[in-house]
Amino acid sequence: MNNSYNIENLIPQREPIKMIDSLIDANNVMAITTLFINSNNYFVSTEGIMAEAGLIEHIAQSASAQAGYLAISEGRKKTPVGYIAEIRDFKCYRCPLVGEELKTTISVDDIIGNITCISGKTKIDKELIAETKMKIYIGENS
Give DSSP secondary structure letters for 66-102: HHHHHHHHTT-SS---EEEEEEEEEEES---BTT-EE
- How far lies 82's CA from each of 25, 31, 47, 95, in Å? 20, 16, 31, 25
The C-alpha atoms of residue 63 and residue 60 are separated, in whole angstroms, by 5
The C-alpha atoms of residue 94 and residue 92 are separated, in whole angstroms, by 5
Per-residue pLDDT of the chain (142 residues; tens, 9 = 90+): 555 578 999 999 999 999 999 999 999 999 999 999 999 999 999 999 999 999 999 999 999 999 999 999 999 888 889 899 999 999 999 999 999 999 999 999 999 999 999 999 999 999 999 999 999 998 765 4
All structural domains of the chain: 14-138 (3.10.129.10)
pTM here is: 0.94
Q: Which pLDDT score is estimated for 3?
A: 56
Q: Which pLDDT score is estimated for 141?
A: 53
Q: Which pLDDT score is estimated for 138?
A: 87
Question: What value, to the nearest 5°, has the Cα angle with vertex 93 and ends 121 and 11?
Answer: 35
Q: Are 32 and 24 in contact (CB under 8 A)?
A: yes
